[in-house]
Amino acid sequence: MSPQVFELVLLTIVTASMPLMIAALGELVAERAGVLNLGVEGMMIMGAAIGFAAAYLSGSPFIGALAGIAAGMAMAALFGLLTIGLAINQVAAGLALTIFGVGLSGLLGSDFVGLKREGSPHLYVPGLSDLPLIGKLVFGEDGFVYAGFLLVALAALFLGRSRAGLALRAVGDNPHSAHALGLPVRRTRFLAVLFGGACAGLAGAYLSLAYTPFWSPGMTAGRGWIALALVVFASWRPWRVVLGALLFGGATVLQLHAQAASLGLPGQLMSAVPYLATILALMALSAGTRRNAAAPAALGQTFVAPR
């Protein structure tokens, strides 16, 4: 494989892993606060639809990304109202959010099916971007990639090194103790859920603005669910999300290349690779560690303030 091809493969792996990484990071923060939001797929696809519509109408991918973030946050706010405000079962509410999001995005996006726009601009630093092998990889990505890595770094710092991050983890491990200590449990959880929605919306916008130059119904194709699995795979640690996302992105790209190379394997089998890989990854992880030792202790539990 020539260096150019090798670099191209690495570039596509980064591109394929970005939506997974960004969405998983947002979900990770929400889960560290004790909220399991199964609506990632729904928030993501709304981000993709709204993001594309806004970018198409305004002509600016930046406005598209912002609109995608806003759509994800609006969906997350709805989820927060249900699970945090009304103490509704998080699994059921998350499923409702996904079903709703998939349907609504199809409705809102129906006018935009088949339209195309140009991809998002890539960074170009004269000299540096032209370096062999790593030039494009480090200095020639689109804005989403840099934003994604920045988000991971900030989330890692926030969760591990800040007082507010400590409070958030306390809320996720034991909301009752946190409440007794005077921490605002429900506000913390709501903000964490909003952050998760913003990330999912951004990840969705990435799909329709940078990954492909168009919108199509159902285009997230289960990526929201894979992002949920990635959080488990990453043992709820931000930097491990990067690793997991690159592995999954790699699997996806490998599958596309294998399909193109026509190895004689059925296309359906190759398409099933990301889903099979998810199950295998969850199995390997659970077999290797003590059972759910890394999970936030109160993950998925609703909290009703004692009176």
Partner 1 sequence: MRIDLEPRAGRSLALDIGAPAGALAFAILLGGIVVWLLGKSPAQAFMVYFVQPLMEGWSLQEVAVKACPLVLIAVGLSFCYRANVWNIGAEGQFVIGGLCGGWLGVVTHGGAGQGAIGGWWIVPAMLLLGALGGALYAMLPALLRVWLGVSEILTSLMLVYIAELGLDYLVRGALRDPKGFNFPQSVTFDDAARLPFLAEGERLHAGVALALLAVAAAAFVFARSRFGFEVRLVGEAPRAARFAGFSDARLTIAVFAISGALAGLAGICEVSGQIGQLVPTISPGYGFTAIIVAFLGRLSPFGILLAGLVLALTYIGGEAAQVALKLPNDMTRAFQGILLMCVLMADAAARYKIRLVSGSGA
| Closest separation in Å from C-beta 18 to partner 1 | 21
Among 8, 63, 173, 179, binds partner 1 (CB under 8 A): 179
| Closest separation in Å from C-beta 255 to partner 1 | 12
Contact call for residue 93 and partner 1 (CB under 8 A):
yes
Contact call for residue 279 and partner 1 (CB under 8 A):
yes
Q: How many residues does the chain have?
A: 307
Among 9, 63, 131, 282, binds partner 1 (CB under 8 A): 282
Q: Which stretch binds partner 1 (CB under 8 A): 51-59, 80-88, 114-122, 243-251?
A: 80-88
| Closest separation in Å from C-beta 222 to partner 1 | 6
Contact call for residue 106 and partner 1 (CB under 8 A):
yes
Binding mask 221-250 for partner 1 (x = CB under 8 A): -x--x--xx--x------------------
Contact call for residue 181 and partner 1 (CB under 8 A):
no
Q: Which stretch binds partner 1 (CB under 8 A): 115-123, 148-156, 220-228, 246-254?
A: 220-228
Contact call for residue 217 and partner 1 (CB under 8 A):
yes
Contact call for residue 117 and partner 1 (CB under 8 A):
no
The residue among 108 and 147 lying less far from partner 1, judged by its C-beta, is: 108
Among 19, 64, 72, 101, binds partner 1 (CB under 8 A): 101
Q: How far is CA 145 from CA 121, 141, 250, 269, 305, in A?
A: 11, 6, 16, 29, 40
Contact call for residue 283 and partner 1 (CB under 8 A):
yes
Contact call for residue 78 and partner 1 (CB under 8 A):
yes
Among 272, 297, 298, 301, binds partner 1 (CB under 8 A): 272
Burial 121-135 (b: 16+ CB within 10 A, else e): eeeeeeeebeeeeeb
Residues that bind partner 1 (CB under 8 A): 38, 42, 78, 82, 85-89, 91-93, 95-107, 110, 179, 183-187, 217, 222, 225, 228-229, 232, 266, 268-269, 271-272, 275-276, 278-279, 282-283, 286-287, 291-292, 304-305, 307
